[in-house]
Structure 1
Amino acid sequence: MKLINKSILTAVITLSTASVYYAQQVQDTAAKSKDIEEVILRGVTDIAKDRKTPVAVSTIKAAQILERQGNQELVEMLNTTPSIYATKGGGGFGDSQIVMRGFESRNIAVMVNGMPVNDMEGGTVYFSNWTGLSDVTSFIQVQRGLGSSKLAIASVGGTMNFITKSADMKKGGIVRLGVGNNDYLKTSFAYNTGKSDKGWSSSFLMGRQSGSTYIQNTDYEAYTYFFALGWEVNQKHNLQFTITGAPQWHDQRSFAPTISDYIKYNPDNDGTPDRTYNSDWGYYTNAEGRRVALSNRSNYYNKPVMMLNWDWTFNEKSKLSTVAYMSNGRGGGTGDLGRVNGRNLTASVNGVPYFRDAQGLYNYDKLFAENAAVNVNTANAGSTLIRRASINSHNWYGILANFQHKVNDNWNFSIGTDNRYYYGYHYQVISDLYGAKGYKDNANKNIAPNIVTATSDYKKLNWNPFGGSQVPLNERIGFSNDGEVLWYSGFGQIEYSKNNLSAFIQGSVSNQGYQRIDEFVQDGITVQRNQTVNRKTGFKNIFGYNIKGGANYNIDENNNVFANIGYYSKQPFMNTVYPSNQQVVNPQLTNEKIFSAELGYGFRSAKFNANVNVYRTQWKDRALRRTITVPNVTDAYAEMNGITEIHQGVEVDAAYKLNNIVEFNGMFSWGDYYYKGNATGSTFDGNNNPLTVAGDSNTTTLYLDKVKVGGTSNNSILQMTAALGATVKPVKDLSVYAGWRFVGKLYSSIDIATFSNPANQERGVLKLPDYNLTDIGISYKIRLKDNSKFFTIGANVYNLFDKTYIQDGATNNFVKTVGDFTTTTTGGVTTTAQQKYDAYINNPANFYNGIDTSNRVFFGFGRTWAATLSFNF
């Protein structure tokens, strides 16, 4: 994991396509396989080389990000890459989600300069923490499948490596201004000093972004900072220091409303859904009598990353790359907690939402009044309904080292180590009392009951995440537990390259030690799962390993073939080691086993490039946790175990340069992702109390055999996609482009309630409607007399035809059959199952685009736009 220097940057940029619309695998023009600079993998950044590294790869340059991103999420730039599905999630700033070959981000290795950034407890990646990357990234390389990384990381679906700018870039600067729909405003300034005669260089960037998204009440404010300092001591030693961060806060839409609510609360009242509808906010009346918007769901975070990279070149054959890094994050997300008069915020009375108004928004005045009437001192614990903030902070330190040696013209080897220490802080505090005089909490067994009145303003970011004290224990509610992770690993790789053949074999071993620390338990007194537990569990060490290899053969100047194969024994995440948020190690703990194989073919010519890949991955003993919705239950979740998945498919991408004016690009991917065998599932409420799923037990069999793989976090799994794009450059410095994308075989999230019923196994996961989207854009450079100085004007329109589509699904409510109804008699009147079915099937309000309107979904954004103006000097 090394910060990329100038020579590597030059080599990598040659991998990028000439087209600015579509990121694809392209030809490496180097011809000498014996050259030490043409090794398959370099440093610990593991940049794949076309026609040499045997993996499926796509690369996006900074120029494309600048010209195409606008006000989109950064990961949406990958949507024209085979087998990738990136969405805006709930639609809040930075709340995007990405799926690669049917695997979600927690099982995709996301890296910055080769440094893994997936959360060390749960593997998740919150892209709102990384929004600043779009301003400082030199290029993004995506490797689908096993990937070329040497590290002991679980790149089940693939890897995403963001390579940031380095200090020794060419002297110059850039000023940018961006505007767009919903008050989008972005400004930034960057400057590179270039390298001095004594080897010093620096680069910095400052930026700010604000506005709201297409969704109701999703205001946000975000900043970006980046600083790099380089010193080339001599020909043997090169040092690079980098710090980057993106502090932000944003209001969210976390809950996926039902389709019927999108239609019901559309102010146009025309039977169509209001795609902007957000059920996570409302109004209250302040002391001046004005209505003020208030969000129940918001996120705030500051997660800077510091790296110090040292490259030591011993001689022309040997090199050591070392990087030490730290990432201290502070922040969390809000939601409701407790009940007032026995009702939580989403409660209904006789089918009517109790705390909602006629527009489907929260009636905070009603809530505030009921809260204010509660005597906190005499009421039971949890008898007021407040907004809590769940803190998810951490301190993360690591060191990576990789030694490379050229044995001879054909053989190279590398060996290294990846060591990390992580400490995560997880607890709840009060963010807003919602008119109550306090909140009584009995979760802390050391201070029970505890009446808390202190609140925290989530919009006041802590700009110093490297210090600062945690909130006192007597101000914490709900839960307070820490996670401590020790990670030690070693890796090695042997490479062979001669004439038209290149090959490698790589292996790694790792030990992950997990300790859970619960501040709310009483040492030696608290009993969980019939065991007496302590505040600290002690470390549970789990050994894992992987081995993989591959080969590429260049048949001639135009054709090449490659293959790779690998096996992972992957350690489970922390919430599987200590299930249901308790201090007891899972008695059935086992590693997840992943086997993957891939074949690929590539064709390269002056005008036409194409790639075809065929892959298959088997994932056994998978365990996962997901948030679920249970009526009148706050923060319910489900744990699923013993899952086996098969992911297999075909990918095709191609680019054709008709002439110097017109270029075409396209891709197609088809997948077949399904569960093999059944699994088990259990459900719990937010206080870890078991919830009944079937009969009188909270544990049930999940009938999943041959069911299509669905999402796990209110998201969907894509199994077929296609894209076509064209770029026209009629005159110098003018570029006009258009892109079309098709999404099909899109499957909703899985849930325990549906698949604990064997009758639903044949129905499978709910398939969402297919859709097509079209984007267009234009970019023009205005050059000054000094050719190094120029303005760039750009504009983008996304979803040009304002297509209404469902991007993600959270439920599996199928169109009903007669068998779903029963005959009933009320007041002497009998209604048969057939009569109920007829009434249901003949009511158009029950259906939208072929699916039941009771399903909870996220609609995609309608037509949006962004424009940019930048000046390079």
Structure 2
Amino acid sequence: MKLINKSILTVAITLSTASVYYAQQVQDTVSKSKDIDEVILRGVTDIAKDRKTPVAVSTIKAAQILERQGNQELVELLNTTPSVYATKGGGGFGDSQITMRGFESRNIAVMVNGMPVNDMEGGAVYMSNWTGLSDVTSTMQVQRGLGSSKLAIASVGGTMNFITRSADMKQGGAIRLGIGNNDFLKTSFAYNTGKSENGWSASFLASRQSGATYVQNTDYESYTYFFALGYQPSAKHNLQFMMTSSPQWHDQRSYAPTISNYIKYNPDHDGSPYRQYNSDYGYYTTQDGVRQNLANAMNYYSKPVVMLNWDWTMSEKSTLSTVAYMSNGRGGGARNLGKLGTKTINDASFIDGEGHYNYDAIFAANAAVTPTAGVAGNTLIRSSSVNSHNWYGILMNFQHKINDNWNFSIGTDDRYYYGYHYQVASDLYGAKGYTDNFNKNLPTGNIIRNTYDYQKLNWNPFGGKNAPMEDRAAFSNDGEVLWYSGFGQVEYTTEKLTAYVQGSVSNQGYQRIDDFVKPGTLQQGQPVERKTGFKNMFGYNIKGGANYNIDNHNNVFANIGYYSKQPMMSAVFPSNQQVINPTLTNEKIFSVELGYGFKTGNFNAKVNLYRTEWKDRWYRRGGVDFGNGIRGYSEISGITQLHQGAELEATYKVNRFLEFQGMFSWGDYQYKGNASGSNFQDDNTPIETNGSNTSTLYLDKVKVGGSNNSIPQTTASLGFTVSPVQDLRIYGNWQYTGRIYSAMNMADFVTPGKEALQLPDFNLFNVGASYKIKLKNESQYFTLGVNVYNLFDTTYIQDGSTNIKTTDPINPTAKPGAADYGITYEQAGRVYKGIADGNRVYFGFGRTWSTSLSFNF
């Protein structure tokens, strides 16, 4: 009988705060079974194991996070993983975006210790709420494709699971200090008590980070606190309590400027783009004559998460894992609201010579207006859109070992979510008030005069007072979501073969609550009430896979799955109204994957082939620019996407001094067939095309671009790690990104023949080093680290928001006889690296750096 390798088993157990067995207990029972415990880790974390779990998986450990993250976004570390593309988004702190196999984060299941964290209304994951994960993560695992999770989660593109520190870590602590470009400063302190004789243990971490990013006016401040308490009263019971949060505020760049404006507003006026340019802020003059900057876009949030894990070894063959959790998020984001006459904030009279807002002009224009009940929105202010929530859940997983080869598990995943969404004024920009007509339960022309400070951090997970109705503008609606599901899994394993079948069923109920609706009024010809009542939708999935170890070096695997996935809340209640979508249908996902692995003592390689078809997709894209200063959103239904590709990743350890890592991925992501779409202004006013609000979107065979970010279809990387002397590590990596397609502006695809805009390919180089200085006491040492990102200061476009071709007219609304009538970007010479300079894009950061010093004791 083949026994589990002792060192591998110990690592596997310490990965999870929800592990069922501690190392000694498992070592005592290992001789009674084969390596069935290695197939899919017990508990609720579902950590995949190499040459066991039949999925495509990559793992990043805490040491690599500490060594290489610096002042990058945490998800950027995954850019050396096949089919993953992580960017900084608009460039604000925590505003990163990620795609996996061509799918965006709302269709990638993100979990912390097995707990789902995707937003229950829209599916998105806002990494600014999770910036502290880099401090407390012990392992970050990416499973591409449907993954091994037993839960009924939206793993269309893949799964990211962050396994945090556990309370029973070895006694000791660490103090860290980090500095970097743009006043980056991070300090942290962590301490673990170790496990006492009576089974108690605790772990604590606190950190602060501040500064700005590479982009203009992106100041931020963030804190992280983490506390874990463990108690093991006996060999049968293990309890782990955890609480963590990262309250933060940060100024943003939420609107992608045009390439022409990046060039126009370059202080050097040398014809090159000013990559730091940010159009979402400006200046005003104080009473003391001091010029101060003022942001138009910002975000503030605090999302404490509390978890209680209980692992019960019921018998030698049976275990029960339970996780109860809660999350009370408080915060929102700020933008502009209203007009001054016909002028929006982007009117030329409000833009200065540097491409920023002239708030002195806005303040003066606002001061000349007296808000009146009869004229709505006649002043221009900064608003704050509150998006708070209360979220409670419980996960239970029972596992039973039938014999040496068979084991099964059943469980339940139940959640309740209540989201609060409304808008208040955060800065009146010198106005005496703002007139709002949207609340139909208040007198016409409600004048708002109170403001709310966006930079006030809320540390209380139960606190946060809601603004009264008379202070709310434009909208005030709540979302209530009920989710309950059951899942099961059967596993079969021998020394060479591992196979499993999983299935789950779920019910998702949505209710929309609109405080601005006057009960009994009509929407889309139907009388509506404040509450819609719950719309319940049934979903299910079934998937299975097998891994076969041909010999000690070669293995093959395959998996297949089908999802009937409930749509998001925006599809249930389209157009932000109280009427349920009459054409509502589940999304259907079918996926199949084949893989091969080769492993020796110094060389490992994996190859994967995959195909995923996603039908009946509905999504809402916000921030659409319809021209003439009008911005809004689009709703699209009936979308079908086909994603297929190949992946390769490998490592080669030449000797104890040198190791190479590499990956390559090739994808083919395109739409199948056409779809229908409707466009609306932000106040839900329909925007008509050819006399109708509903348009056909000609998407057939168009390459897939994201709703908010670009999607590449080829990625590659090659890296090395060299240790020339003991305790010195030097690393470097090259990253290539190609066949990048801009985010889709749905307004561009209402006529046949339009293609997605392909952005220029680019190459990046990153380097870093770390050196450990040991003291006489082996448990005490200093570590000095340094990282340089984009070493050669490459200018590249990471994301695009539009699809303008060089053959498109510069002014599509120009009349015959006008000087610019019919003139294309190509004819006017307005082309940058092969694309029209009227496209709105985000340039990637130039050369940045960070360095750190830590002391472990």
TM-score if structure 2 supplies the norm length?
Answer: 0.95
| Structure 2 unaligned residues grouped into runs of 5+ | 1-6, 17-29
Aligned to 2:780: 789
Aligned to 1:811: 802
SS in 1 for 2:753: helix
Offset of 1:7 from its aligned partner? 9.8
SS in 2 for 1:75: helix
In the TM superposition, 1:139-538 aligns within 5 A as 139-347=139-347, 353-377=348-372, 380-447=375-442, 448-524=444-520, 526-538=521-533
The answer to whether structure 1 residue 738 and structure 2 residue 739 are counterparts is: no
Verify the 8 A CA contact 1:496 1:503 in the aligned structure 2: yes
Distance 1:416 1:727 in 2: 42
Offset of 1:575 from its aligned partner? 0.6
Distance 1:727 1:831 in 2: 56
Verify the 8 A CA contact 1:40 1:495 in the aligned structure 2: no
Aligned to 2:12: 11
Distance 1:831 1:785 in 2: 76
Distance 2:369 2:820 in 1: 44
Distance 2:508 2:809 in 1: 52
SS in 1 for 2:575: helix
Distance 1:813 1:823 in 2: 16
- Letter of the structure 2 residue corresponding to residue 847 of structure 1: V
Offset of 1:821 from its aligned partner? 8.5
Aligned to 1:716: 710
Offset of 1:38 from its aligned partner? 2.4
Distance 1:667 1:612 in 2: 10
Aligned to 2:633: 637
- Letter of the structure 1 residue corresponding to residue 478 of structure 2: D
Distance 1:309 1:832 in 2: 67
Distance 2:555 2:664 in 1: 20
Verify the 8 A CA contact 2:485 2:505 in the aligned structure 1: yes
- Letter of the structure 1 residue corresponding to residue 714 of structure 2: M
The answer to whether structure 1 residue 750 and structure 2 residue 744 are counterparts is: yes
Distance 2:9 2:451 in 1: 50
- Letter of the structure 1 residue corresponding to residue 421 of structure 2: H
- Letter of the structure 2 residue corresponding to residue 709 of structure 1: V
Deviations 1:4-50 (A, max 9, x none): xx9977226799xxxxxxxxxxxxxx999823432334221000010
Offset of 1:354 from its aligned partner? 2.4
Question: CA 1:853–1:32 in structure 2 vs 1: closer, same or farther (change >3 Å)?
Answer: farther
Distance 1:171 1:518 in 2: 52
- Letter of the structure 2 residue corresponding to residue 670 of structure 1: W
In the TM superposition, 1:818-857 aligns within 5 A as 826=817, 836=823, 840-844=825-829, 846-857=830-841
| Structure 1 unaligned residues grouped into runs of 5+ | 1-5, 16-29, 348-352
Distance 2:59 2:15 in 1: 10
SS in 1 for 2:364: helix
SS in 2 for 1:725: strand
Sequence identity percentage: 68
SS in 2 for 1:474: helix
Offset of 1:470 from its aligned partner? 1.1
Verify the 8 A CA contact 2:528 2:579 in the aligned structure 1: yes
- Letter of the structure 2 residue corresponding to residue 66 of structure 1: L
- Letter of the structure 1 residue corresponding to residue 112 of structure 2: V
Deviations 1:169-197 (A, max 9, x none): 00000000000000000000000000000
Superposed CA RMSD in Å reads: 1.9
Distance 1:699 1:615 in 2: 35
The answer to whether structure 1 residue 858 and structure 2 residue 836 are counterparts is: no
Question: Higher mean Cα deviation, 814-823 or 724-733?
Answer: 814-823
Question: CA 1:397–1:182 in structure 2 vs 1: closer, same or farther (change >3 Å)?
Answer: same
Distance 2:719 2:789 in 1: 14
Aligned to 2:107: 107
Deviations 1:758-806 (A, max 9, x none): 031xxx2000000000000010000000111100000000000000000
Distance 2:173 2:601 in 1: 34
The answer to whether structure 1 residue 683 and structure 2 residue 679 are counterparts is: yes
Question: CA 1:439–1:818 in structure 2 vs 1: closer, same or farther (change >3 Å)?
Answer: closer
Distance 1:746 1:12 in 2: 40
Verify the 8 A CA contact 1:40 1:502 in the aligned structure 2: no
Aligned to 1:600: 595
Question: CA 1:150–1:826 in structure 2 vs 1: closer, same or farther (change >3 Å)?
Answer: closer
Question: CA 1:823–1:244 in structure 2 vs 1: closer, same or farther (change >3 Å)?
Answer: closer
Verify the 8 A CA contact 2:15 2:139 in the aligned structure 1: no
Distance 2:269 2:672 in 1: 45
Aligned to 2:564: 569
Offset of 1:754 from its aligned partner? 1.3
Aligned to 1:127: 127
Verify the 8 A CA contact 1:177 1:187 in the aligned structure 2: yes
SS in 2 for 1:753: helix
Verify the 8 A CA contact 1:725 1:737 in the aligned structure 2: yes
SS in 2 for 1:758: coil
The answer to whether structure 1 residue 872 and structure 2 residue 851 are counterparts is: no
Aligned to 2:771: 780
Verify the 8 A CA contact 1:91 1:213 in the aligned structure 2: yes
Aligned to 2:660: 664
- Letter of the structure 1 residue corresponding to residue 329 of structure 2: G
Alignment length (residue pairs): 836
Verify the 8 A CA contact 1:546 1:568 in the aligned structure 2: yes
Aligned partner (choices 540, 546, 554) of residue 545 of structure 1 = 540
Verify the 8 A CA contact 2:202 2:228 in the aligned structure 1: yes
SS in 1 for 2:386: strand
Aligned to 2:26: none
SS in 2 for 1:273: coil
SS in 1 for 2:360: helix
TM-score if structure 1 supplies the norm length?
Answer: 0.94
Distance 2:753 2:808 in 1: 12
Verify the 8 A CA contact 1:400 1:418 in the aligned structure 2: yes
Distance 2:340 2:812 in 1: 35
Deviations 1:143-179 (A, max 9, x none): 0000000001110000000000000000000000000
Aligned to 1:24: none
Aligned partner (choices 576, 579, 587) of residue 581 of structure 1 = 576
Question: CA 1:824–1:375 in structure 2 vs 1: closer, same or farther (change >3 Å)?
Answer: closer
Distance 1:267 1:544 in 2: 55
Question: CA 1:721–1:597 in structure 2 vs 1: closer, same or farther (change >3 Å)?
Answer: same
Aligned to 1:89: 89
Offset of 1:289 from its aligned partner? 1.0
Distance 1:861 1:578 in 2: 38
Verify the 8 A CA contact 1:553 1:560 in the aligned structure 2: yes
Verify the 8 A CA contact 1:667 1:723 in the aligned structure 2: yes
Verify the 8 A CA contact 1:346 1:632 in the aligned structure 2: no
Offset of 1:842 from its aligned partner? 5.0
Verify the 8 A CA contact 1:33 1:497 in the aligned structure 2: no
Verify the 8 A CA contact 1:95 1:127 in the aligned structure 2: yes
Question: Higher mean Cα deviation, 742-751 or 586-595?
Answer: 742-751
Deviations 1:212-257 (A, max 9, x none): 0000000000000000000001011111000000000000000000
Verify the 8 A CA contact 1:33 1:498 in the aligned structure 2: no
